[in-house]
Copies of this chain bind each other. A is one copy, B any other.
Amino acid sequence: MLLCSKFTRAKGLLQATDLCLTEGENSKRFGQITVNLKQLSKHLKLSQTTVSRALNGYPEVSEHTRNRILKAAQDLNYRPNTRAKGLATGRALAIGHVIPVSNQHEMVNPVFGDFIAGAGDSYARAGYDMILTRVPDNEVSRVYHDIKARGNVDGIIVHGPVINDPRISLLSRIGLPFVVHGRSTDVNQPYSWIDVNNRGAFERGTQLLIELGHRRIALLNGLEHMDFAFRRRTGYENALRNNALSVEPDLMRSEEMTEIFGYRSARDMLDREDRPTAFVCSSIITAMGVRRAVHEAGLVLARDVSIVTHDDALSYLENGDDVPIFTALRSSVRSAGSLAADMLLSLIAAPQSGPRTRLLEAELIIGRSTGPAAT
């Protein structure tokens, strides 16, 4: 143990580096410069209670003492230990993001990055930590139980909901506050979610192409067990039906939304006799693949082939500048992340206030990838 006299510099401000830590194995483990509440209160010749109250804004401490305490805390660079605080309060001050990983095709969707960024900014503002866990999708339920029991999180964001997602009833049962990014068709109990109007967006996008005279319109969708993709297909089909056009299975594909998926699908379809004159894509990355195939086939975008795509407004895949490259249904996944986080935080603050929901509308942006169908 370190042995040293008490605070030697009686007058003058005690510098953090001067502190002698006589207790706390932890504090010494890495030779860290850290005061805890006990040391702080001893230094102030006050009780831990008073110091704690002053720091947490409770009223029963005089303004004079509070200022003294705040000053000292600042000078000594005091930060309450999260774990201890969590233990005492029963709150973790952290939010969990559990990202299901399919062991079939485990991909890292760039959308997560932006969503997480948006959410992270909200957490930072609220003083919450974000803890991330990637879990094989067949183990998700076990992990939720774990998370609950291990108590290191106050709430959870549910990513990538599928149709009739079992996680929703599981989390309700467990009693862990959560917000779903997306919705889950066929779940009939109430729950909190934030989602883009995927059906509406794709109906609108398809309608636009139809109005431009396109009759053979392909859909390059995400995996359709995912709820968002299911909804998008519904929107696409609705538009076709509303205009008395037939829904043709060989114009519809559903896969992970990679560039290569867009390329291959478009290459194959454009090779056919009755090739489509337009594509509706679920991702700007897929749309890029389509564009590549279009070029390679010696065709010209907007003249020979039109593309409408969903655009998550990812910063590295910005859809052009003043003039958008692709005609797109834009909805920033990043701001969705931020909103989801805020929603969850307020849900945690007022648990009995019941589920909240928020439907965002995608913005239709006309770019240089659409034009009238060649006659």
Instruction: Using CB atoms and an 8 Å cutoff, list the residues of chain A in contact with chain B.
Output: 25-26, 29-34, 77-84, 86-87, 90, 92, 94, 106-110, 112-114, 116-117, 120-121, 124, 129-135, 145-146, 148-152, 174-177, 256-260, 285, 288, 291-292, 295, 314-318, 320-321, 325, 334, 351
Contacts and interface: CB of A to CB of B under 8 A. Distances in A.
Given A31-B175, A77-B149, A109-B113, 10 more contacts: A26-B90, A29-B90, A32-B148, A34-B151, A79-B150, A81-B151, A82-B150, A108-B114, A112-B113, A117-B134
A317 B258 contact: yes
Contact of A151 (B26, B92, B133, B259): B26
B151 A83 contact: yes
B285 A316 contact: yes
A335 B292 CA distance: 29
Q: Kindly list the 9 A-B residue pairs having the minimum CB-CB distance in the complex, ordered from nearest.
A: A30-B175, A79-B149, A26-B90, A113-B113, A107-B315, A82-B152, A120-B134, A110-B110, A83-B86
A145 to B, nearest CB: 7
A316 B133 contact: no
B314 A108 contact: yes
B148 A34 contact: yes
B110 A134 contact: no
A30 B177 contact: yes
B129 A152 contact: yes
Nearest to A148: B32
A335 to B, nearest CB: 12
A350 B343 CA distance: 42
A288 B258 CA distance: 14
A354 to B, nearest CB: 15
A15 B355 CA distance: 30
Contact of A258 (B113, B316, B325): B316
A150 B257 CA distance: 40
A110 B107 contact: no
B130 A174 contact: no
A260 B318 contact: yes
Nearest to A174: B32
Contact of A316 (B107, B120, B131, B325): B107
Contacts of A259: 288, 316-318
A206 B320 CA distance: 29
Contacts of A33: 174
Given A30-B177, A129-B133, A110 B77 contact: no
A120 B107 contact: no
Nearest to A256: B316
Nearest to A151: B81
15 contacts: A32-B149, A32-B174, A34-B148, A84-B87, A108-B334, A109-B113, A110-B113, A112-B113, A113-B113, A116-B132, A120-B133, A121-B134, A258-B317, A260-B320, A285-B316
A321 B261 CA distance: 10
A321 B321 CA distance: 30
